[in-house]
A and B are shown apart, each in its own frame.
Chain A
Amino acid sequence: MRSRIALLLVVAFLLSLCTTFAWQRRSRGFPGGGFGDNWVPEPADANEKTEFVYARLMYPSAGRRAFGGFGGRGGSSWTTDYPKNDRQFLQGLRRLTRVHARSKEHVVDLDGDDLFNYPFIYAVEVGQWHLSDAQAAKLREFLLRGGFLMVDDFHGTFEWEVFMASMSRVFPDRPVVEIENKDPIFHVIYDLDERFQVPGLAALYDGVTYERDGIVPRWRGIYDDQGRIMVAICHNMDLGDAWEWADDPAYPERYASLAYRIGVNYVVYSMTH
C-alpha cells in the first residue's frame, strides 16, 4: 500500500515537473544568466501587438552542442542578463523614440523559421556560441533577406576567435570591418562619434572597464553588397549589462547612457537601412 502511495507521489511530482517545464517552453520563459539577479516581473502590456519586437537569439554554446541546461544561473550563455537586460532596454527604447516596441522580448532560435518574423535580433555572449552548419546557413539566410543581428558582451582574443569560428561559416566571404564614425549607424538618432568602453557590472567591481584581454572596445560590422550593416558586433564591451543595471545607483550613468544611445541607434538603423 505504501509503495503504491509512494509511486503515485513520484508520478504526481514528475507530472508537475513536466507541466512546469512545458509551460516554460511554450511561453519562452527561460531562467537568466550573468551577474546578479536578472529576474523582473512581466510587464502588464507584455502581449501587446507592436511593430517592433526585440528578439533575443537562443544559440548552442561551445562544447555543449545544445542550448544548455536551465539549472543554476541560467546554464547557457545566450540567456546572460535575461530578461532584465531586454526589458530595461525596451523601456528606454519606448521612452526615447517613437518606435512602437513591445515591452517584453521574444526568444528565437536558428532551428525554426520564427526568427524571420523578427528582423532585429540580439545575441549576447557570442564568444561562447557554436553554430551548426544548418544554423549558420539559417542565420545567413536571415541576414540576406534583410535581417539585422546585434551581438554584444564578449571579450578578448579567445572569445573573438570562438565567435568568428561560427560567424565565418555564416559569411565565409564577407569581411568583418571596423565601423567608421561617419557610418549612419552612429548618427541615425544620436551622434556617437565619441564612444568609450562600456563595462559590465562585475568588471567595475574589479575596478576596470574591460574583461580578459579585451582592453580596446571595438565597434565592428559585416556589410552587405549595398554597404548596409547586417551584423553589428560590439566586442570588448557589455552593453547588455549597462542596460540591465541602468537602474542601479552603483552603475555609472555615463556608461548606461552610451549603452542606450548605441542600442537605440542600432535598432532604428536596422529599421531604416
Chain B
Amino acid sequence: MFEFLFKYSPAVFAKGEFVFLARWPVWVLPVAIALACALLAFVLWRRRGRMPAGLAGWRPVAIWALQCCLAALLLTMLWHPALSVATLKPQQNVVAVVVDDSRSMSLSENGKTRLETARSTLNGGLLSALEEKFQVRLYRFGRTLERVEKADQVTGAAPVTRISDALKQVASEAASLPVGAVVLVSDGADNSGGIDRETIAEIRRYRIPVHTVGIGRLAPEKDIEITDAVVPPRTLADSRLSAQVTLRQFGFQNRKVQLKISDGAKLLASQEVTLRGSGEPQTESVAFDAGIAGARTLAIAVDKLDGEENQNNNSLMRLVNVESSKPRVLYFEGEPGWELKFVRRAAEEDRSLDFISMARTTQNKIYRQGVSDAKELEQGFPGKAEELFAYEGLVLVNVEASYFTPAQQELIRLFVDRRGGGLLFLGGRASLADGGYAASVLADLVPVALSDRKNTFHRDPARAVLTAAGRDSLICRLVEPSARNAERWEKLPLIGDYQETGEPKPAALVLAESEVAGRARHPLLVIQKYGLGRTALFATGSSWKWRMLQDHKDTTHHTFWRQLLRYLVSDAARPVSLTTPRQVLFDEGRFRLSAEVRDKSYSPISDARLEAHVMGPEGIAATVELTPSPAEVGLYEGEYDAEKPGSYLVELAATRGNELVGRDVLTFRREDGVAENFRTEQNRELLRKLSEETGGQYYTPETASRLAGDVAYSEAGITTREIRDLWNMPAVFLLLILVRGCEWLLRRKWGAV
C-alpha cells in the first residue's frame, strides 16, 4: 500500500535526501506560494459583495485556505521535488548475512525450531534475492563469527550468543571488503549484557546498516524463570543477608511456589511466593544467614512446575565471600547511660564485631572499655585521621557537638565521607538539636534536618513503629518471615525516651518512627548514604527497655543492635578494596579486576605494588599484577583469563616498599553452557534498537521478503546516488483531487454551487 501511494519503499524515504531539481532557486518557492495566497485572498476580497449567500462569515476563509493548499502543492510540483538516495552498485558490494548459531535457536516453537524458521526464511527466497544484486557472505555466530557456505551449516550448537563480538568482526572486514549491509538473523537473546556503544560506534563509522530479522516468539507460553538475583558479594560472618531475587512467569499466574537458597546441600532459606501477572518482573526479598567465614556458592532456585517449556532457567548461582574480619566500632558517650551497658552486651555476643567504648564518667575522666592496649584512646577522642580511621563504625551518644574541636568535627565528617565508615547518632539530652549539632559541621551528617529549637529530648515512653521501608530492612528484621516481624515490632515494650527530630533529608530512609499517644510521630530510626560511608540516627537512648522489660531469653534487643552495628560497618571501605564488574562469567574467561588502594588516612595512593594470586579449579594457580589506572588516582586494574569453568579465589596484596598496605579477597565463577537457558524469548527491543542505531530496519520472517530491496539503500560499500522523482507519486495526484474535492463539497454544502 505504501509503495502504491508513494511509489517507493519506506527505506528510500528513510535513506534518501529530499531535493528540488528545478533550476529556479528554492527560496523563490515560498515567495511564490505567498504571492499566490495573497492573490487568492485579494480575489476573494474583491468578490466579497457578490458572494453567494451561503459563503458568509468564516466560510470564505476556509475556501481560501483550501485554494492556497492547492496552489502550494502545484507550485511545489513545479519545482520538481525528488529524493537523492545512495544505492549499492549491483554485484560490486558484499552483504554479510549473519545467522545466530546459539543453543537458544534450537528451541522448538509451534512444532518448528527457530533455526528451521531462520533457514526457511533464508532459503525461501531471501538469500537468492540478495545474491541477484550483491555478493552474499553467509556467517554463523555464537561466541565467535565463522563463515559458512550454506544456511544448513548453522546447527544451533553454540553455547553463547555474542552479537557485539560478531558485529565487530564484520565491521573489521569492512576495512578490506565493500560491505554494503549486514543482515542479522537472530532471536536477539544476547548473553553478554547487550550491545555496547563501542560496537555501535564502530559500525556507524563504516556507515553499515544492520538489518535484523527477529526469530522466535516474543514470550513463552508456560515458563517460570529467575532473571536475576542480587546478593552482597561480601559480608561478615554470621550476618543476616537479603537476596533480591527477580523472577517472572508466563502461564502460571497466582500459583504458589517455593523460592529457595541453598549452599550445596544445605538449605539456607525457603520462602513461599505467589506468582504475579504474566511477564511481569517480580522481585522478592529472601533473608538468610551467611554463616561462618568462607566462600559460599549459593544456588537460588524456584520450583520446577509441570508443563514448563524450559526448566533450565529456574535456578542460578551467586557467590558470597563471608569474611572473617572483625570491624571495630567506637562508641562514645558524653555521660553514663544505660544504653551502653546493653549495647555492649549485644555487641560482645557478636564474634564479628569489636566494640570499644568511651564514657565520660566524670568531669575529667573517660572510662574506656574493649581497647586493645592501654595506649589506645589514652588521649581521649581521636584527633588524628589514622587514629579515628582505625575504626569502621562510630556511635555518638549524648555528647554535645562543642565537645569536639572543629578539627575533630571535620575528622568525623571525613571518617564517613572519605574513609567510608558508618556513623550512628543516638538520642539524648545532649544529642542532636539539644547538643548544638544544628550549628555544627556534624549537622550535615545527621540524616534528618535539625531545628535550632532546644528541649527536643523527652524522657517519656514512646512506641517504636515500623515504616514500610523498615518492614523491608534487615536492620529491623527480628524474626522471619516479614509478616511475623511486623507483629513482633507491634508487641515490643515502649522505649523509655525519644527525641523530636526534623524532616528526613532527601536521600534518607526512615525505618521506624516514635509514636506517643496524642502527639505527632517523629523519625526514630533513619539511615542514609554519605560520601563513601553511611550515617544513621536512632533518636532514643533507651532501647535497653527492650531488654529489661522482656524475658531474659528474648533476643530482640541484641538482634536489633547487632544488625544496626553491622549495617554501620558492613560496607566500610578498607585500605585495599578489590572489585570486579561481574562475579559470574558465562562461557568466557576474561575476568577484569579493579582495586582501590588507600593509605592509613584513606588518601588514594598510586605508587603501590599490587599482586593478585588466583586459585581456580583443578589446581589452577596464577599471579596477576594490577597496574595503576590513568583514569583515577589510587585505582589499579588487571585482567585474568579463567580458562576452566568453576569457582576461583583471588587474593590481592598491596605493598608500598616493604610495607604492607592491605589485603583483600574476591571470589568469582565461570559457568559454561548456562547462559543460553535464560531470556530465551526473542529480544525484539534489542534487534530494533540495533537497526535504528545503524540505519537498518527490523523485519520478521514474514516481512523479510522486502529486505532484499531495502538493502540496496546504503551509504556503505560502493555506492552511487540515484534520483527518484516525487512529483509523479500517486499520492500527490490523490491529494490534489482531495483538496479540490473538499472545496467543491463545502461549496455544495453551503449552497454556493
Question: 0/1 per residue, A82-122, Cβ < 8 Å to B?
Answer: 00000000000000111110000000000001001101000
Known contacts being A117-B545, A271-B337, is A97 close to B345, with CB within 8 Å?
A: no
CB pair A270–B341 under 8 Å, yes or no, is yes
Q: Tell which of A116, A188, A272 has the most Cβ of chain B within 10 Å.
A: A272
CB pair B361–A188 under 8 Å, yes or no, is yes
Question: 0/1 per residue, B686-705, Cβ < 8 Å to A?
Answer: 00000000000000000000
CB pair A146–B459 under 8 Å, yes or no, is no
Q: Which of B520-577 contact A (CB under 8 A)?
A: 541, 544-545, 547-552
Question: 0/1 per residue, B320-339, Cβ < 8 Å to A?
Answer: 00000000000000111110
CB pair B551–A51 under 8 Å, yes or no, is no
* Chain A CB within 8 A of B658 CB: no
Q: Which of B344-380 contact A (CB under 8 A)?
A: 344-345, 348, 357, 359-363, 365, 367, 369
Q: Tell which of B345, B360, B429, B548 has the most Cβ of chain A within 10 Å.
A: B548
Q: Which of A251-273 contact B (CB under 8 A)?
A: 268, 270-273
Known contacts being A100-B429, A271-B336, is A145 close to B341, with CB within 8 Å?
A: no
Q: Taking CB as reference atom, which chain B residue is nearest A98? A: B335
CB pair B340–A272 under 8 Å, yes or no, is yes
Known contacts being A51-B541, A119-B338, A146-B345, is A97 close to B361, with CB within 8 Å?
A: yes
Q: Taking CB as reference atom, which chain A residue is nearest B363? A: A98
* Chain B CB within 8 A of A52 CB: yes
Which residues of A lie under 8 Å from residue B389 when comparing CB positions? none
Known contacts being A141-B551, A147-B548, is A96 close to B362, with CB within 8 Å?
A: yes
Question: 0/1 per residue, A117-136, Cβ < 8 Å to B?
Answer: 10100000000000000000
Cα separation A189 to B551 with both chains bound (whole Å): 31
* Chain B CB within 8 A of A50 CB: yes
CB pair A98–B360 under 8 Å, yes or no, is yes
Q: A187 CB to closest chain B CB, in angstroms?
A: 9
Q: Tell which of B336, B340, B545 has the most Cβ of chain A within 10 Å.
A: B336
* Chain A CB within 8 A of B425 CB: no
CB pair B340–A50 under 8 Å, yes or no, is no
CB pair A49–B336 under 8 Å, yes or no, is no
* Chain B CB within 8 A of A3 CB: no
Q: Which of B369, B460, B545 contacts A272 (CB 8 A)?
A: B369
Total chain A interface residues with beta-carbon distance under 8 A: 26
* Chain B CB within 8 A of A226 CB: yes
Q: Tell which of B363, B367, B549 has the most Cβ of chain A within 10 Å.
A: B367
* Chain A CB within 8 A of B678 CB: no
CB pair B367–A189 under 8 Å, yes or no, is yes
* Chain A CB within 8 A of B342 CB: yes
CB pair B361–A145 under 8 Å, yes or no, is no
Known contacts being A52-B336, A98-B360, A145-B552, is A189 close to B341, with CB within 8 Å?
A: no
* Chain B CB within 8 A of A12 CB: no
Cα separation A273 to B335 with both chains bound (whole Å): 15
Which residues of A lie under 8 Å from residue B365 when comparing CB positions? 189
Which residues of A lie under 8 Å from residue B429 when comparing CB positions? 100
Q: Tell which of A119, A144, A226, A270 has the most Cβ of chain B within 10 Å.
A: A119
Which residues of A lie under 8 Å from residue B547 when comparing CB positions? 145-146
Cα separation A236 to B429 with both chains bound (whole Å): 40
CB pair A268–B336 under 8 Å, yes or no, is yes
Q: Tell which of A144, A145, A189, A270 has the most Cβ of chain B within 10 Å.
A: A145
Q: B126 CB to closest chain A CB, in angstroms?
A: 79
Question: 0/1 per residue, A182-195, Cβ < 8 Å to B?
Answer: 00000011000000
Q: B293 CB to closest chain A CB, in angstroms?
A: 23
CB pair A117–B548 under 8 Å, yes or no, is yes
CB pair B459–A50 under 8 Å, yes or no, is yes
Q: B450 CB to closest chain A CB, in angstroms?
A: 22
Cα separation A98 to B363 with both chains bound (whole Å): 7
CB pair B548–A116 under 8 Å, yes or no, is yes
Cα separation A144 to B550 with both chains bound (whole Å): 11
Q: A150 CB to closest chain B CB, in angstroms?
A: 15
Which residues of A lie under 8 Å from residue B367 when comparing CB positions? 188-189, 268, 272
CB pair B338–A99 under 8 Å, yes or no, is no
Cα separation A51 to B497 with both chains bound (whole Å): 10
Which residues of B lie under 8 Å from residue A141 when comparing CB positions? 551-552
Q: Taking CB as reference atom, which chain B residue is nearest A140? A: B552
Question: 0/1 per residue, A46-62, Cβ < 8 Å to B?
Answer: 00011110000000000
Which residues of B lie under 8 Å from residue A147 when comparing CB positions? 548
Cα separation A69 to B156 with both chains bound (whole Å): 97
Name 24 A/B residue pairs within 8 A (Cβ), A-sorted: A50-B459, A51-B335, A51-B337, A52-B336, A98-B336, A98-B362, A99-B361, A100-B335, A116-B549, A119-B341, A141-B551, A144-B552, A145-B552, A146-B341, A146-B342, A189-B361, A189-B367, A268-B359, A268-B361, A268-B367, A270-B341, A271-B340, A271-B341, A272-B344
Q: Which residues of B contact A (CB under 8 A)?
A: 334-338, 340-342, 344-345, 348, 357, 359-363, 365, 367, 369, 429, 459-460, 496, 541, 544-545, 547-552
Q: Beyond A98-B336, A271-B338, A272-B340: 7 further Cβ-contacts under 8 Å?
A: A51-B338, A52-B336, A96-B362, A98-B362, A189-B361, A189-B367, A226-B345
